[in-house]
């Protein structure tokens, strides 16, 4: 997934009303199922359910007594049981993302979610019984070499010990989530996919979707950006009562869940899922906040480059320097594969498969989900990439980003369904690393100082969006959840106020935040789908800067170790996996190392601007 608001630039002139420069680039989901009516979908769900019931009949009440070898085998069996249902789930999600407007896609998604819950409910006892095993016995089992293969998985399950409820309670929560939290989440997607924004172009009102209107914020013409900002605000305001109700409901749903499960702070459940210590998150947030002045320093430079006295909020993504031109999807493919190939031919070979075997959906279509993501499916198949390609440099970076995920997921697939995905904190490693490889290659090839400056500014703005903006968003979420808990249902104006209060310190006096800006939290999907997701982007970006530093020092010797890190997937905690390549994220100075590299890039931009512009 890309961080919120790193969207397509789109030169006003380059805007096309058709499917964009990636017309016809659609994925082939038949690798999963033949179509939404394929009877194999239902059979897959039936197979998982029957196997789950048989497993429950045999194992229920036994988990506290079985030995290490049997426990290990039980986990293997659980993985096999869930695979058919996971395949159906992945298919339903992808089908819906590619076309949210077709009713039977939504119906299939709902059906698969409900049936998956049924399967999960059958298997719930395993985790609850294992978590309930007393500390001494669990310690002895985990120390037994017979379950070494599953040690991390079993040990990390037990970290939920203080937060799990009884089996009937867990079942009720799981089932009602489909008509509660999950339903509100989908409602948000549907509203945003259908929301149209009325942008006045050359005196004529033009209706456009979210993706397009956001892309105009990257236009060269200031009037186009100003108009896009106005239209964005107006469209959001029109739906704000419904959207704000969804937000309020989900924030309260989380408060209830946190209370029932004894999580003290709203961020705690996410930290636990991320396998990261709260202190480590706090030090990440503090290190970034302390560097906020770097953001203001950059935007002052940007105002100078744009010839403006001061920047308005809609100027933040204005293109700087030269070189803004549209690139075909084939060009994007070449650029990304070349950059990947410089680093490792093996990595390029993996990435090439996404293009050649139709694992990517890149064209613009009404009803298609906005943004971009790469989704792992089941180890026996392969991941799929969704993006909305409009042809600017930023989109090329998006291709690099999502293929980074793709390479990571494909390398980790042999770890199996349970270990192929990493926690969020390291989930963005390969994606951001891939973007950096493309950035560096473009910088190396380019000789025109104006284009180099444009590239550098683009990279900096992306890095800022990935680090500082995500930290500000995390601060916003902390304030939002705290306010909802203390004040009850929040009026929109109150949330607007919290949003501006969280963002203003980052910009200092370098960007004037308008009343429009106050409404722009309303479209950010992360707050709806995965609370406190955002800091993982900052973690990922700073980690990647550290990895690049390592690569620069070690050269090619670094490559196989990096690929091994990716192939390890989620088979151990991020800290343990990183320790294997000599990175210590617990070191308080660690984050500052990456931030210092960003400061170096700002200084480089300042000198390019002074010398070459
Ligand atoms: Zn991503």
Residues 6+ apart with CB under 8 A from 537: 3, 428, 466, 467, 470
| 593 vs 436 pLDDT, higher one | 436
Ligand 1 center–CA 541 separation, angstroms: 10
Ligand 1 center–CA 373 separation, angstroms: 6
Ligand 1 center–CA 256 separation, angstroms: 29
104-157 residue pLDDT tens: 999 999 999 999 999 999 999 999 999 999 999 999 999 999 999 999 999 999
Element (H, E) at 218: none
Ligand 1 center–CA 405 separation, angstroms: 7
Give the C-alpha separation, 174 to 182, whole Å: 10
Alpha carbon 366 to its chain's center? 22
Range from 182-186, 275-279, 336-340 carrying the lowest mean pLDDT: 275-279
Q: Place 531 in a pLDDT band, splitting at 50, 70 and 90.
A: very high
Ligand 1 center–CA 5 separation, angstroms: 12
DSSP reduced 3-state for 352? helix
Cβ(285)–Cβ(469) below 8 Å: no
| 325 vs 429 pLDDT, higher one | 429
Ligand 1 center–CA 431 separation, angstroms: 6
Ligand 1 center–CA 374 separation, angstroms: 7
Torsion (CA) 187, 192, 195, 199 in degrees, nearest 10: 170
Give the C-alpha separation, 613 to 549, whole Å: 28
510-526 residue pLDDT tens: 999 999 999 999 999 99
pLDDT at res. 322: 67
Ligand 1 center–CA 397 separation, angstroms: 11
Count helices and strands (H / E) in the chain. 26, 7
Ligand 1 center–CA 121 separation, angstroms: 30
Q: Which two tokens stand for residue 565?
A: 């890190």
Please, is 597 exposed, middle or buried when counting C-beta atoms within 10 Å of its C-beta (0-12, 13-18, 19+)? middle
| Inter-CA distances, 181 with 79, 191, 193, 252, 491, Å | 26, 16, 19, 10, 20
343-361 residue pLDDT tens: 999 999 999 999 999 999 9
- Cβ–Cβ contacts within 10 Å for residue 596, how many? 13
3-state secondary structure 70-135: HHHHHHHHHHHHHHHHHHHHHHHHHHHHHCCCCHHHHHHHHHHHHHHHHHHHHHHHHHHHHHHCCH
Ligand 1 center–CA 289 separation, angstroms: 22
Ligand 1 center–CA 535 separation, angstroms: 12
Taking 70 as the threshold, does the pLDDT of residue 7 lie above it?
A: no
Ligand 1 center–CA 1 separation, angstroms: 4
pLDDT at res. 71: 95
Ligand 1 center–CA 216 separation, angstroms: 22
pLDDT at res. 454: 87
DSSP reduced 3-state for 532? coil
191-233 residue pLDDT tens: 998 999 999 998 999 999 998 899 899 899 999 999 999 999 9
Ligand 1 center–CA 239 separation, angstroms: 28
Report the percent of the chain where pLDDT is more than 90.
74
Ligand 1 center–CA 135 separation, angstroms: 37
10-64 residue pLDDT tens: 323 333 445 678 999 999 999 999 999 999 999 999 999 999 999 999 999 999 8
Q: Which two tokens stand for residue 190?
A: 């549907």
User: Which is nearest to 156 in space by CA: 543, 426, 418, 537?
Assistant: 418
pTM above 0.75, yes or no: yes
pLDDT at res. 3: 54
Q: Which two tokens stand for residue 44?
A: 């897959």
Ligand 1 center–CA 270 separation, angstroms: 17
Q: Which two tokens stand for residue 559?
A: 């490559």
Ligand 1 center–CA 427 separation, angstroms: 7
294-345 residue pLDDT tens: 999 999 999 999 999 989 999 999 988 766 578 899 999 999 999 999 999 9
Residues 6+ apart with CB under 8 A from 528: 184, 185, 188, 246, 247, 250
Ligand 1 center–CA 440 separation, angstroms: 19
pLDDT at res. 370: 83
Taking 70 as the threshold, does the pLDDT of residue 542 lie above it?
A: yes
Q: Ligand 1 being an ion, which residues bring their Cβ within 5 A of it?
A: 1, 431
Ligand 1 center–CA 433 separation, angstroms: 11
pLDDT at res. 11: 29
Q: Place 255 in a pLDDT band, splitting at 50, 70 and 90.
A: very high
Alpha helices (H) along 179-291: 181-194, 210-215, 222-238, 240-260, 268-273, 278-290
Max Cα–Cα distance, the chain, nearest Å? 75
Ligand 1 center–CA 450 separation, angstroms: 29
Q: Place 276 in a pLDDT band, splitting at 50, 70 and 90.
A: confident
Interval 394-406 mean pLDDT: 94
Structure letter (DSSP) for residue 22: T
Computed on alpha carbons and rounded to an integer, the radius of gyration of the chain in Å comes to: 24
Ligand 1 center–CA 4 separation, angstroms: 10
Q: Is 175 left (phi over 0), alpha (psi -120 to 50) or beta?
A: alpha
User: Which is nearest to 466 in space by CA: 399, 382, 519, 542?
Assistant: 542
pLDDT at res. 1: 59
How many Cα atoms sit within 13 Å of 127 on the Cβ side?
21
pLDDT at res. 549: 84
Ligand 1 center–CA 540 separation, angstroms: 9
Q: What is the mean pLDDT of the chain?
A: 91
Interval 472-495 mean pLDDT: 96
Ligand 1 center–CA 387 separation, angstroms: 11
Q: How open is the CA angle 362-184-517, to the nearest 5 degrees? A: 70
Residues 6+ apart with CB under 8 A from 202: none
Ligand 1 center–CA 52 separation, angstroms: 33
Taking 80 as the threshold, does the pLDDT of residue 166 lie above it?
A: yes
Ligand 1 center–CA 372 separation, angstroms: 8
pLDDT at res. 583: 85
Ligand 1 center–CA 411 separation, angstroms: 16
Ligand 1 center–CA 542 separation, angstroms: 14
| 452 vs 1 pLDDT, higher one | 452
Ligand 1 center–CA 604 separation, angstroms: 27
Taking 90 as the threshold, does the pLDDT of residue 451 lie above it?
A: no
pLDDT at res. 350: 97
Ligand 1 center–CA 600 separation, angstroms: 24
Ligand 1 center–CA 24 separation, angstroms: 24
User: Which is nearest to 401 in space by CA: 537, 521, 285, 535?
Assistant: 537
pLDDT at res. 8: 32
Give the C-alpha separation, 282 to 389, whole Å: 36
Please, is 541 exposed, middle or buried when counting C-beta atoms within 10 Å of its C-beta (0-12, 13-18, 19+)? buried
Give the C-alpha separation, 151 to 242, whole Å: 45
End-to-end Cα distance, the chain? 34
pLDDT at res. 253: 96
Ligand 1 center–CA 402 separation, angstroms: 6
Q: Which two tokens stand for residue 483?
A: 């306010």
Check the CA dihedral 406-408-409-414 and report its sign: positive
Cβ(456)–Cβ(443) below 8 Å: yes
pLDDT at res. 447: 84
pLDDT at res. 13: 31
Cβ(27)–Cβ(358) below 8 Å: yes
Interval 570-591 mean pLDDT: 85
Cβ(436)–Cβ(544) below 8 Å: yes
Range from 130-134, 255-259, 383-387, 608-612 carrying the lowest mean pLDDT: 608-612
């Amino acid at each position: 997934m890309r961080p919120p608001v790193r969207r397509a630039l789109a030169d006003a002139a380059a805007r096309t009303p058709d499917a964009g420069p990636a017309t016809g680039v659609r994925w082939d989901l038949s690798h999963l199922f033949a179509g939404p009516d394929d009877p194999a979908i239902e059979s897959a769900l039936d197979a998982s359910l029957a196997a789950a019931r048989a497993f429950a009949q045999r194992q229920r009440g036994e988990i506290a007594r079985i030995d290490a070898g049997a426990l290990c085998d039980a986990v293997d069996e659980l993985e096999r049981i869930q695979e058919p249902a996971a395949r159906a789930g992945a298919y339903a999600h992808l089908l819906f993302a590619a076309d949210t407007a077709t009713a039977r896609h939504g119906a299939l998604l709902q059906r698969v979610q409900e049936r998956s819950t049924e399967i999960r409910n059958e298997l719930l006892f395993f985790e609850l019984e294992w978590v309930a095993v007393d500390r001494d016995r669990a310690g002895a089992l985990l120390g037994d070499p017979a379950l070494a293969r599953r040690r991390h998985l079993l040990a990390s399950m037990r970290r939920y010990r203080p937060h799990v409820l009884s089996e009937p309670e867990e079942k009720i929560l799981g089932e009602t989530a489909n008509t509660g939290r999950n339903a509100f989440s989908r409602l948000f997607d549907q509203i945003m996919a259908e929301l149209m924004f009325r942008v006045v172009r050359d005196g004529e009102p033009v209706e456009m979707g979210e993706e397009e209107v956001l892309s105009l914020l990257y236009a060269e013409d200031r009037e186009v950006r100003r108009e896009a900002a106005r239209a964005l605000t107006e469209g959001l305001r029109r739906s704000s009562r419904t959207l704000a109700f969804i937000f309020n409901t989900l924030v309260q749903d989380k408060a209830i869940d946190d209370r029932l499960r004894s999580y003290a702070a709203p961020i705690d459940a996410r930290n636990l899922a991320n396998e990261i210590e709260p202190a480590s998150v706090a030090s990440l947030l503090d290190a970034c906040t302390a560097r906020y002045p770097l953001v203001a320093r950059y935007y002052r430079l940007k105002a100078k480059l744009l010839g403006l006295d001061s920047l308005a909020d809609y100027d933040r993504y204005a293109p700087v320097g030269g070189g803004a031109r549209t690139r075909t999807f084939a060009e994007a493919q070449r650029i990304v594969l070349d950059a990947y190939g410089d680093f490792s031919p093996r990595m390029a070979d993996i990435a090439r498969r996404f293009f050649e075997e139709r694992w990517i959906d890149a064209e613009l279509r009404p009803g298609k989900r906005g943004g971009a993501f790469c989704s792992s499916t089941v180890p026996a198949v392969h991941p799929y990439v969704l993006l909305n390609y409009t042809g600017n440099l930023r989109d090329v970076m998006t291709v690099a980003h999502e293929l980074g995920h793709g390479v990571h997921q494909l390398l980790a697939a042999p770890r199996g369904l349970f270990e192929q995905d990493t926690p969020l904190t390291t989930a963005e490693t390969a994606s951001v690393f891939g973007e950096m490889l493309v950035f560096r290659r473009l910088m190396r090839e380019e000789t025109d100082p104006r284009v180099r400056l444009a590239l550098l500014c683009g990279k900096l703005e992306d890095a800022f969006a990935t680090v500082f903006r995500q930290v500000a968003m995390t601060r916003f979420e902390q304030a939002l959840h705290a306010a909802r808990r203390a004040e009850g249902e929040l009026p929109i104006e109150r949330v607007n106020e919290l949003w501006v209060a969280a963002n203003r310190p980052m910009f200092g006096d370098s960007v004037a935040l308008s009343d429009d800006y106050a409404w722009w939290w309303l479209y950010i999907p992360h707050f709806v789908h995965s609370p406190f997701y955002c800091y993982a982007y900052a973690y990922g970006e700073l980690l990647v800067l550290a990895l690049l530093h390592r690569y620069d020092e070690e050269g090619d010797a670094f490559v196989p170790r990096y690929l091994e890190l990716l192939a390890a997937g989620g088979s151990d905690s991020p800290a343990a996996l990183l320790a294997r390549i000599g990175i210590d994220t617990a070191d308080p100075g660690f984050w500052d190392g990456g931030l210092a590299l960003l400061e170096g890039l700002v200084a480089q931009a300042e000198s390019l601007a002074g010398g070459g512009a």
